[in-house]
Amino acid sequence: MYITLIVTNPLLSCDNTLCFLEDYSVLVCKEHSTAVVNLDTHLLQHNNVPTATRKQIVERFSHFATVIPDDIELLEEPAQPIDELGEPLDALQCKTCRFVTVNKDTMRIHCNKNHQQAWKGEKSLLYNTVKVQSFFRSGGLQKYFIVDLADAEIDENARVVNTISGLLAEYELIQQEVEEELQTLEEAAKTDKTGWFKRTGWLEFLKDRNLAHLAYQARRPDQSEHKIKLAAELTEQLVERSVKGLATLPQEVRRWLRSARQSEVDTRPMARLQNPESQTVYASYMVRFVCFYLRIIENDEQRLKRAIARALTLPDSRSDSEEDSEEDSEENSSNGGNSEDGSNALQSRRTTRGQGQVDMMKDARELFTFTVEQQRRADTLWSALDGNDRAA
């Protein structure tokens, strides 16, 4: 039996649920799936609740008689799961003394030290795999008790089966739509038949585009691309600096950053990835994106310079043509039909030369459109990279 009170903090724009488990004389925060020893401290550290609001909440729950962690009576095992304590955890139970832990290294040390059991060969002979819960999740107050998920697993399995069936039906429908549309798309796009391209709209967006050209513009910097190479290095440093900066942010801010919902914080704060290789992979995606749009900036700059150069040389060409018009006329008269043949040959060479040049930036320029502000900032970055200005 438990008593629940919903406390709404307007600053957090979400409901933080607190409940009192009367059978155990414990106050529990449902949001963090843990019992609370000091409510004021918990609200401050985990929810960043203002002082005045914290005082009101503490007063509201002050009449509940709670016990200290050491006096909490654990349930008779195996017990029914307590929903307010969150999802049961995977744990190991020693077969010799029934010691329970959620950490395999702790179990290894326990078996070696307490039972002189070697940690080698078939480990399952030393422990059982169980599901556990604890009233506390941290602070050295964890006391795990084994829970029985037999009934819960039956309901969960039925729910999973229904969910999977629905997803499969949806997948088959999407797959059919994708197959129909793939018939009209270029061969490169046909490599993806998972439905992801359809869901994101990439198939339509990339329709009739040269994916090889696009991928080439998103490559890592070449040795000759000094400015883009510098930008790539700075991007990697920026990612690492940002990750280090997470530790300086309040926990509540990091919980908002980690949340996938606009109106609800995540139960865990954003933190550095445990696997350093994962950060390297994600950083490489950002680097390739930076290389992609900087190549577009560089290409636009080069095209503008060529256009200006053509505009500057055009008047001279016209002048020269006018001065030599009479000479050309005489020459044409003397050469007769040969002039027409020469003109056709020159035009042919120009056409051939134009047709032979493949604009590998065309699709990238047309697909990646800057806003005015984005263009200004990108141009500023490109200019700052001229002098290897890392500070800029």
| Residue at 202 is within a domain | no
- Please answer whether residues 32 and 39 qualify as being in contact, where contact means their C-beta atoms are separated by less than 8 angstroms: no
Q: Give 149-203 pLDDT, tens digit per residue.
A: 766 555 566 677 778 877 887 777 777 665 655 554 545 445 555 666 667 777 7
pLDDT at 256 over 90: yes
Closest CA to 16 of 44, 37, 26, 24: 44
DSSP 8-state secondary structure symbol assigned to residue 249: S
pLDDT at position 234: 93
| pLDDT averaged over every residue in the chain | 76
| pLDDT value for 192 | 56
> Is the pLDDT score of 327 beyond 70?
no
- Check pLDDT > 90 for residue 318: no
> For residue 391, which phi and psi values (nearest 5 degrees)?
-65, -35
Lowest model confidence (mean pLDDT) among 90-99, 123-132, 217-226, 273-282: 123-132
- 43 with 105, same domain: the answer is no
Quote the Cα angle for 96-35-94, to 5°.
10
Does 105 have pLDDT greater than 70? yes
Q: Are residues 52 and 98 in the same domain?
A: no
Residue 162 lies in a domain: no
Task: Summarize pLDDT for 44-69 with one digit per residue, the tens.
Answer: 777 667 787 778 888 887 778 888 88
Same structural domain, 367 and 264: yes
Question: Where is the domain boundary, 126, 148, 170?
Answer: 148
Residue 154 lies in a domain: no
For 337-381, write each residue's pLDDT tens digit: 444 444 444 344 334 444 457 888 999 999 888 888 988 998 899
Amino acid 335: pLDDT: 44
Q: Are residues 23 and 57 in the same domain?
A: yes
Whether omega before 78 lies within 30 degrees of 0, making that bond cis, reads: yes
Please give the radius of gyration of the chain, using alpha carbons only, rounded to the nearest integer: 34
Is residue 276, in this structure, part of any structural domain at all?
yes
Q: For position 297, what pLDDT does the model report?
A: 92
Is residue 351, in this structure, part of any structural domain at all? no
If asked whether residues 67 and 94 sit together in one domain, one would say no
Do 284 and 371 lie in one domain? The reply is yes
Q: Does pLDDT of 10 surpass 80?
A: no
| The domain boundary residue, chosen from 27, 44, 71 | 71
Residue 157 is assigned to a structural domain of this protein:
no
Give the count of domains, the chain. 3
Predicted pLDDT of residue 332: 46
What is the rounded average pLDDT of the residues 76-91?
82
Least confident of 90-104, 116-130, 236-250: 116-130
- 54 CB neighbour count, 10 Å cutoff: 19
What pLDDT, on a 0 to 100 scale, did the predictor assign at position 179? 60
Q: 221 and 90, same structural domain?
A: no
Cβ(361)–Cβ(295) under 8 Å?
yes
pLDDT tens for each residue of 208-227: 888 888 889 999 999 889 99
Assign 291 a pLDDT band (cuts: 50, 70, 90): very high
Give 20-46 as a 3 state SS string.
Answer: EECCCCEEEECCCCEECCCHHHHHHHH
Parent domain of 15: 2-71
If asked whether residues 275 and 386 sit together in one domain, one would say yes
> pLDDT category, 122, cuts 50, 70, 90?
low
Averaging pLDDT over each range in 162-171, 303-312, 320-329, which range is the top one?
303-312
Maximum mean pLDDT: which of 137-141, 292-296, 329-333: 292-296
* Together in a domain, 235 and 372: yes
Please report the pLDDT score of residue 79 as a whole number.
Answer: 80
> Which of 148, 178, 198 is a domain's end point?
148
- Tell me if 36 sits within 8 A of 29, measured CB to CB: yes
**What pLDDT is recorded for position 154?**
56
Is the separation of the CB atoms in 360 and 211 below 8 Å? no
Is 122 inside a domain boundary? Answer: yes
pLDDT at residue 290, rounded to an integer: 93
Q: Does residue 386 share a domain with residue 261?
A: yes
Residues 283 and 252 in one domain: yes
Question: In terms of DSSP H, where are the helices of the chain?
Answer: 39-47, 51-61, 104-115, 150-182, 196-200, 202-205, 211-217, 226-245, 251-258, 276-323, 325-335, 338-356, 362-367, 372-384
Within-domain flag for 39: yes
Are residues 244 and 214 both part of a single domain? yes
Residue with tokens 């602070």: 139
